[in-house]
Structure 1
Amino acid sequence: MSSHPVHHRTTTVDGHVIAYREAGPADAPVLLLLHGFPSSSHMFRDLLPLLADRYHLIAPDHLGFGRSDAPAAGDFPYSFDRLAEITGRFTEQLGLKEYALYIQDYGAPIGLRLALAHPERVTAIVTQNGNAYEEGLGADAWAPVLALIAERTPETEAPVRAISSPDGIRWQYLTGVADPTLVSPDAYEHDAALMARPGQGEIQLDLISDYGSNIALYPAFQEYFRTSRVPLLAVWGGGDEIFVPEGALAFRRDLPDAEIHLLPTGHFALETHAAQIAALIRDFLGRI
């Protein structure tokens, strides 16, 4: 276990306060950790102390999530392009010249946009249920989202709103987990409380309805994999019904040397397998 403390900091990017967690020596190799929906850097709370002796860890809360600012949907154009732009400026403001990426869920299209813009900055990728292939989209979980993407109406919004409900969030945390008693209720109750804040419903609908922009970029992400040959480690909850295991296995199509581990857990694999994932990361990045 690392003795390095985890700091909880903020900085201002484009007039918006961005909260982030930071740990590890300032002169160590950087690992930029990008969380998914409906979480925040809180999802990395168990992982950071396990890696902070060897790496400089930076885990921001995306705008609209966690402790970062959450301007109303009518005041800010929530899209994955905009979140990636803010994240890119965040890295530049912190002076991050190069870094490995840890991407999960929403963090994948955000982080991979950073890689497309500046491939020279990305030294490696750790993807934990962070998808870049259509075969990774679980059919049942994605049916209401794809309907919303096709046409945003009150009828298509209703089932997607349910994804952000306490029951919907709990389902994301527990589905596919071999032993659900290992998942602390603190995690999904924390996310549910933040998703219940005023204005969150519209923020999340704007982002989810924009998810089609990520699927449209899958071919560009895949071309980046082929041309860059970026080292990639997939540590994937094999029971995830949102981003299914086929999405993890697909990385080998473009990166034959990709290292893929399907773990007996779900979408939020760190809730049950933080120590195992940390060991895999240390081994993987130690060979880069």
Structure 2
Amino acid sequence: MDAQLIDLNGRSFYLRSWGKPDLPPLLMLHGFPEYGEAWRDLAPYLCDRFHCLAPDQRGYGQSWCPKGTENYTLSKLVSDMATLAQRIKTPLTVLGHDWGASVAYGLAMFRPDLVSRLIIANGVHPVPFQRAMAAGGAQSEASQYINAFRKPDATARFSSNNFAKLEGFFRHGMGVDWLSESRMRAYRTEWARPGRLEAMLNWYRASPLVVAKPGVPRTDLPDLPAERLMVRCPHLLLWGPEDKALLPEATAGLEVFAPNLTRIDISSTDHWLHHQKPQAVADAILSWISNG
């Protein structure tokens, strides 16, 4: 693994990479509460085929961390990665997990000129996800943590006692505990960088998506025009079926927005499939690409 600081739109971002630079690029976008190191388990299985590029996204790890919720809207997050993509050989393959999936979807939807293939690992397109979260059913119940993360005192609550509540959510809230103590220490170190947890939570606060209370459907939904939210490139959705936070209903109807969609379940995994079964995830990706 190599690492360097790069300039994106006049701001400093930390970028990890695996594989030879002359290989086709694979942009790997982490989610919450991880950082670019999230791909250390998977990248070794892909770096013979790709130059794997894993930035710490805005507000995470060693990358630029501006104050203010307004700096974490999806358009600004996508702009960062579009700038990075333009510095690489494009169009390129993009892989996103969790919140990184939202940015990956944004690139595919709003900058289709930059994306040749889209791979999502336990992440959600905004329209099926919003419908599921607004219905007041199982996905609404599973998404209540989002409202907790949006509260004004969330940074203080989740950072207290050496990040005990955030660690509990990370290790048990979305799947089974896969973390060693040494890995956990590394995550705590990243979370403890000045302003980082507040910035990470601002990703949730800046999102317009609404979460219904269980049993109380919401109708005051943001405008999500279908014609602007299409994924027209080949799209692979990898899914850990035991995910506690993202349920199958969160992807219902995805084919409407991604007509060239392939779904592959990675058995005996949950939200953290890229850590639990990295070889199976890599095999699925490589097989899909070779058959595409």
TM-score with structure 2 setting the length: 0.79
| Residue 88 of structure 1 pairs with residue 103 of structure 2 | no
Alpha-carbon shift at residue 261 of structure 1 (Å): 1.0
Task: Give the 3 Å change call, closer, same or farther, for CA 47–218 of structure 1 in structure 2.
Answer: farther
| Residue 157 of structure 1 pairs with residue 157 of structure 2 | no
* Match among 268, 282, 285 for residue 286 of structure 2: 282
* Match among 170, 173, 184 for residue 172 of structure 1: 170
Residue in structure 2 matched with residue 261 of structure 1 by the alignment: 265
Query: Is the contact between residue 166 and residue 189 of structure 1 (CA under 8 Å) also seen in structure 2?
Result: no
Task: Note the alpha carbon deviations across 1:188-246, whole angstroms, 9 max, x for none.
Answer: 44223322333234323432111226984755488413xx1x22222222222222232
| Residue 237 of structure 1 pairs with residue 240 of structure 2 | yes
Residue in structure 1 matched with residue 123 of structure 2 by the alignment: 130
Residue in structure 2 matched with residue 196 of structure 1 by the alignment: 192
Alpha-carbon shift at residue 91 of structure 1 (Å): 1.7
Query: Is the contact between residue 240 and residue 270 of structure 2 (CA under 8 Å) also seen in structure 1?
Result: yes
Residue in structure 2 matched with residue 271 of structure 1 by the alignment: 275
Aligned residues: 270
Q: Which amino acid aligns with 1:232?
A: H
Residues 2-151 of structure 1: pairs in structure 2 closer than 5 A: 6-71=1-66, 73-74=67-68, 77-92=71-86, 94-132=87-125, 133-134=128-129, 137=133, 138-146=139-147
* Match among 168, 187, 208 for residue 204 of structure 2: 208
Query: Is the contact between residue 69 and residue 206 of structure 2 (CA under 8 Å) also seen in structure 1?
Result: no
* Match among 181, 186, 189 for residue 185 of structure 1: 181
Pick which of 38-47 and 248-257 moved more.
248-257
Task: Give the 3 Å change call, closer, same or farther, for CA 233–170 of structure 1 in structure 2.
Answer: farther
How far apart are the structure 1 equivalents of 2:166 and 2:229?
34
Task: Mark the runs of 5 or more structure 1 residues left unpaired by the alignment.
Answer: 1-5, 150-155
* Match among 215, 230, 250 for residue 224 of structure 1: 230
Query: Is the contact between residue 82 and residue 111 of structure 2 (CA under 8 Å) also seen in structure 1?
Result: no
Task: Note the alpha carbon deviations across 1:57-90, whole angstroms, 9 max, x for none.
Answer: 111110211221323x159823222121111112
How far apart are the structure 1 equivalents of 2:190 and 2:53?
21
Task: Give the 3 Å change call, closer, same or farther, for CA 110–30 of structure 1 in structure 2.
Answer: same
Alpha-carbon shift at residue 18 of structure 1 (Å): 0.7
Equivalent residue of 2:246, what SS?
coil
Residue in structure 1 matched with residue 213 of structure 2 by the alignment: none
> Aligned residues: percent identity?
24
Q: Which amino acid aligns with 2:71?
A: P
Residue in structure 2 matched with residue 153 of structure 1 by the alignment: none
Query: Is the contact between residue 112 and residue 221 of structure 1 (CA under 8 Å) also seen in structure 2?
Result: no
Q: Which amino acid aligns with 1:283?
A: S
Task: Give the 3 Å change call, closer, same or farther, for CA 172–67 of structure 1 in structure 2.
Answer: same
Please tell me the root mean square deviation across aligned C-alpha atoms, in Å: 3.0
Alpha-carbon shift at residue 35 of structure 1 (Å): 0.6
Query: Is the contact between residue 61 and residue 193 of structure 2 (CA under 8 Å) also seen in structure 1?
Result: no
How far apart are the structure 1 equivalents of 2:153 and 2:222?
24
Task: Mark the runs of 5 or more structure 2 residues left unpaired by the alignment.
Answer: 134-138, 211-220
Equivalent residue of 1:235, what SS?
strand
Alpha-carbon shift at residue 95 of structure 1 (Å): 2.7
